[in-house]
Amino acid sequence: MKKNFILLATLICCLLTFSACGSDDEPKTQVTATAEYTIKFSPDFFKMVKHVNIYYKGTNGENKNDVMTSGTEWKKTITTTKFPAELAYKIVAEPKDDEDIAKLAEANYEITVDGYMSMSLDKESFKYNNQQTMMSKTGDKATVVQWLKSNKEKSYGYRLTKDGTPSPYTPVF
């Protein structure tokens, strides 16, 4: 019994004398990334398209989806503190049916879709602004719709490492 007591007392003394390495006084800095997604559609776009699905990465990295049937702009602001992270969006346009296209006037149509991503990290004041033309076609209605059927998906994104370092990538939703 005396041996057990001495062993237990020695173990307690050892545990009380060890200290953790590193300082608990240093505050941990949390990196925050904010992205603003903006997609702009030309006025002719929804003359040729039934709707467009917009897939994007949400605040916690979850896949989100919005559907647009009209309008000229879609915008979302996403903020995340979870890393690694992905900040990305993708559009999938659904061209109108042939019967609906036949009702359009015989004229040239111009469709463009421009995507913008503004991203900032509070780490080292990193700011990034990018614009890309996701879709662009001019021509008669048949030419534009045919082109749309084979070019209806476009995506764009950034992957952020565990410490918040960004690199471009093509997202898959």
What does the pLDDT look like over 17-28, one tens digit per residue?
Answer: 555 555 555 545
With left for phi above 0 and alpha for psi between -120 and 50, is residue 62 left, alpha or beta? beta
Tens of pLDDT, residues 117-135: 998 887 666 777 888 999 9
How would you label 68-87 residue by residue, b for 16+ Cβ within 10 Å and e otherwise?
beeeeebebebebeebebbb
The domain limits of the chain are: 30-169
**Res 163: pLDDT:** 79
Q: Which of 116, 167, 127 is nearest to 33 (CA)?
A: 127
Phi, psi angles (nearest 5°) of residue 112 = -140, 145
* Alpha-carbon dihedral sign for residues 128, 131, 162, 62: positive
**Res 119: pLDDT:** 87
In this structure, the strands spanning 63-68 and 85-95 are unpaired
Rg (alpha carbons) of the chain, rounded to whole number: 27
Enter the DSSP assignment of 172.
Answer: -
Residues 6 or more apart whose Cβ sits within 8 Å of residue 28: none
CA distances from 171 to 91, 114, 132, 136 (A): 11, 17, 15, 21
What does pTM read for this prediction?
0.79
Tens of pLDDT, residues 85-126: 999 999 999 999 999 999 999 999 999 999 999 988 876 667
